[in-house]
Amino acid sequence: MIIRIGSRESRLAVIQSQTVMEQIARAEPNAELELVTMKTTGDKILDKTLDKIGGKGLFVRELDQALRDGRADFTVHSLKDMPIEVPEDLPLAAFSCREDPRDVLVLPEGVTELDHSKPIGCSSRRRQLQLMALFPDMDIEPVRGNVQTRLAKLDAGRFSALVLAAAGLKRLGLENRISRYFSTEEILPAAGQGILVVQTRKGMDTDCLRLIQDECAAGCAKAERAFVRELNGGCSSPVAAHAVIEGNALTLTGFYVSPDERIQRKGSITGSIVEAETLGKILARQLKEGECQ
């Protein structure tokens, strides 16, 4: 049996796919695993921000087609980079145990303090708005490219610092570049941050993914993505959501931003993990209507 795993060709994407492949190999030791890499449209266009070129869907378009064509049986994604709306014929089949969901500050190599004459680079409006509250005297500018490309721009002197996801740096073995961890109270993470998701085509046998699926991560993912979906949050939307589970209780914290960005609200809700999606929808409505502070 040959199982083909589709992946973006960046180093981080390959590492993430290999992690999934290791779990599949443990579940199906007789299977032959093949990694199929490709460059997506989002990887090719690096001179524009995502909201200007079509959003997160540009990172999955080619991989979706590979699933439909049969060139891949499964594809691996960082859940935070997945569009909220998923095609019915390409369901999400497994959610990995969550890595550190926090955002972090990365300074140039050999530097210990922020240079206030240069901007902080970050890739999302979600981060930008929350950073503006933490560093009101700093300029915040967008930066595109994979992690290594962004770090090269930082070390070349273009930015005073970068804000990146802790999970990606840890998976790349670059944890030593982290200068500061932002608590989830300081910067609320993107929905799904730190979780890997495996996508497949409808009708595929997914038993080989049984060692990958983490029910806590799946519950958090459902709540967080339901929150964003209820607010019609797309790729350029600054909304954020982060859930934690203790026992059977799920607590979801959300960040709502009005279309004109004049209203920004954070709030939380707690309920049963089995009501994850409902909790996400309720919190979104409460924050939008100003009922939850």
Is 103 a catalytic site residue? no
Helices (H), the chain: 11-27, 41-44, 50-53, 61-69, 125-134, 147-155, 166-171, 215-230, 276-289
Question: In the beta sheet, which residues pair with residue 103?
Answer: 165
Tell me the residue length of the chain.
293
Q: Strand runs (DSSP E) across the chain, as ranges? A: 2-8, 32-38, 74-78, 92-95, 103-106, 120-121, 140-141, 161-165, 178-181, 196-200, 240-246, 249-257, 264-272
Select which of 64, 81, 100, 103 is catalytic. Answer: 81
Phi, psi of 285 (to 5 degrees): -65, -40
65, two tokens: 């087609």
Enumerate long-range contacts of 261-267, CB under 8 Å, 24 or more apart: 261/129, 263/290, 264/129, 265/290, 265/292, 265/293, 266/188, 267/292, 267/293
CB 252 within 8 A of CB 283: yes
For 182, other C-beta atoms within 10 Å of its C-beta total: 19
245 within 8 A of 270, measured Cβ to Cβ = no
Give me the residues paired with residue 243 across strands: 252
Catalytic residues: 81
